Structure 1
Amino acid sequence: MTNFPKDLLTGYGLYKERIYRQFEEEYQKLAIYGQEPQTMVISCCDSRVTPEGVFHAQPGELFVVRNVANLVPPFIQGGGTHGTSAALEYAVTSLKVKHIVIMGHCKCGGVQAFRESNGKLGKTGQFVGPWIKMLEPAAITLACTPVDKNEDPQLALEYAGVRQSLKNLLTFPFVEKLVTQGSLHIHGAWFDIGTGSLRIMNNETEIFEDAQDLGARLKEQEAAEHAPEEPEASE
């Protein structure tokens, strides 16, 4: 007998009965024709944060990469195992996604570990320590030129980490080229687990704004653009 988790087997049974049956045709098309997602999401591997759930995405709609603290490393030439960089390269050069979203979240354990380490990142683990050291430039920038002056320190560094990852994205030549051309767009986001709130980073101010407010403004803008023109008054 296997010791495979019983709750996963039960969950699979429900998936096959409810989810797969509902989208069976879509799954078959994806299997035959492959994936064509328009958006890549780089999110934390925290079990409480699921990009597909947050964005109500169906199979094949999002290309998702998850790692500790939703970090994007800077571009580095040479060998080594670069999981996030490899996924980024594949998404941009092969899948030709149009958008990349870096999504942070509240109470991020990776960010908290960095803040509590006091520079002694070796204590956070053999692999975790060197990984979250990538937050160091974000912390320095936050200390020197804070964008979120009145925010909680944990939240401020969560935001700063997203901003740093967006900067690191542009160190990849294949990303920078397409962003410059306007055929690829990069975005920052942050998710509140407890309230379900999503905040989107304004690319001009780098301030995180409520997604529902942003959505409402976009709807108003679209309505205004498609509103019929009023006839000119006759003299």
Structure 2
Amino acid sequence: MEPVRPLPQYLAQRYHGWYATTFAENRSWYRRLADEGQRPRAMVVSCCDSRVHVTSIFGAEQGEFFIHRNIANLVPPYEPDGDRHGTSAAVEYAVSYLRVAHIIVLGHSRCGGVQGCYDMCSGKAPELDEKTSFIGRWMDILRPGFERLPEGDEATRKLALEHEAIRVSLENLMTFPFIRDAVKDDRLSLHGLYNDIAEGGLWTLEPRTDEFVPV
């Protein structure tokens, strides 16, 4: 294919280093993963942001998490006739076929997607309001969260919107019939987490107060 180029050399070198060490020392484990298939206990819906390293935060191994990443860790509402099925398909697969016991929505500080939503809804990014903006149309999912923001300075409102991205996703998850049924039958639990990148902090959404508290 004309636009395709060879893998950058530094990535090829890293691969060979991994193959000679981590893979070689755990060859039987990788074969077992391949032969027996994946059996993750949890699904994590995380942001695409390269600074959010889900497996490192929890010290997880291969096969432990079913991870889906998108802009601003958003889950759209249940819309069988809609056109945002990438995340919905991942959620369906995790719950209906992998039978995960937990879905974790993991948000984070200084999220570029949330910033884009904030600017768009504030009238500061008209380009995101264009129908041709994939980012803008995806961030429409978070508009209800923007409308719920409290009064305050911009920094406070942006932090609140990052938290709202988690709440909105959890609310939307519960619009999926198969998730509602699994939650009702105690086969599935939902969790909201927020990672402060600069400080390394991890906060969890407390269901009784609907506030984020340190883990």
The alignment's C-alpha RMSD in Å is: 2.1
User: Which residue in the other structure is 2:49 paired with?
Assistant: 46
User: Which residue in the other structure is 1:187 paired with?
Assistant: 191
Cα distance, 1:190 vs structure 2:
0.7
1:84-95 equivalent positions in 2, closer than 5 A: 84-95=87-98
Contact 1:114 1:135 in 2 (8 A): yes
> How big is each residue's C-alpha offset from its partner over 1:10-67, in whole Å with a ceiling of 9 and x where there is no partner?
2211211222123222111010010000100000000111211111100000000000
Structure 1 runs of 4+ off > 6 angstroms? none
CA distance in 1, matches of 2:193, 2:12: 33
The gaps in structure 2 that reach 5 residues or longer are: none
1:1-235 equivalent positions in 2, closer than 5 A: 3-78=6-81, 80=83, 82-117=85-120, 118-119=122-123, 120=126, 121-122=128-129, 126-143=133-150, 152-211=156-215
CA change 1:125–1:113 in 2 (3 A) is farther
Rg (Cα) greater in structure: 1
Q: Which moved more, 1:8-17 or 1:118-127?
A: 118-127
Contact 1:187 1:203 in 2 (8 A): no
CA distance in 2, matches of 1:136, 1:124: 15
CA distance in 1, matches of 2:210, 2:71: 22
The gaps in structure 1 that reach 5 residues or longer are: 212-235
Q: Sequence identity, in percent?
A: 41
Per the normalisation by structure 1, the TM-score is: 0.82
Cα distance, 1:78 vs structure 2:
2.5
CA change 1:125–1:18 in 2 (3 A) is farther
CA distance in 1, matches of 2:25, 2:64: 16
Secondary structure, counterpart of 2:60 in structure 1: coil
Figure out how many residues of one structure are paired with residues of the other and give that number: 207
Per the normalisation by structure 2, the TM-score is: 0.89
CA distance in 2, matches of 1:76, 1:157: 23
CA change 1:94–1:124 in 2 (3 A) is same
CA distance in 2, matches of 1:175, 1:128: 26
Cα distance, 1:138 vs structure 2:
0.9
Cα distance, 1:124 vs structure 2:
10
